[in-house]
Amino acid sequence: MNLKISTIYDCNKITLNKIENRAGNITVIENEIDIPFAAKRVYYLYDIPSGAERGGHAHKTLYQLLIAISGSFDVMLDDSRNKKTITLNRPNVGLIIVPGIWRELINFSGSAVCLVLASNNYLEEDYIRDFTFFLQLKKDKI
């Protein structure tokens, strides 16, 4: 099974351009200009119950940009050797997650909306949903 060799240090927060105006702000995201991939799928998570967790998987080839367009949440990243948690709480700051990284989204505020831009259309075969299997795949690559 093909899994990208990557680390949590390949996942980075990016600050997107915010155009401020008295009538309200706007942030624009352009494929392969503001983000290092072309978004082929966009979705968002909302009305997340208190204490709920999302994610709990890794991808073999998919890149993602996560943005808290409202409220806040934490993203726990794991590359099988290192872990880090990143808080997203500004609508012009996103987190790029590269393939081969386990992610869990936790600590959603009551008003949280998580916008996700993905580099590919949905493909179940790209998901790794078992953490033990993920660890074994990463071990085999090291």
Catalytic residue list: 57
Q: Buried (b) or exposed (e) across 42-52, using 16+ Cβ within 10 A?
A: eeebeebeeee
**Polymer length in residues for the chain:** 142
Could you identify the residue written with the tokens 């075969």? 125
H-run or E-run covering 65:
strand 64-70
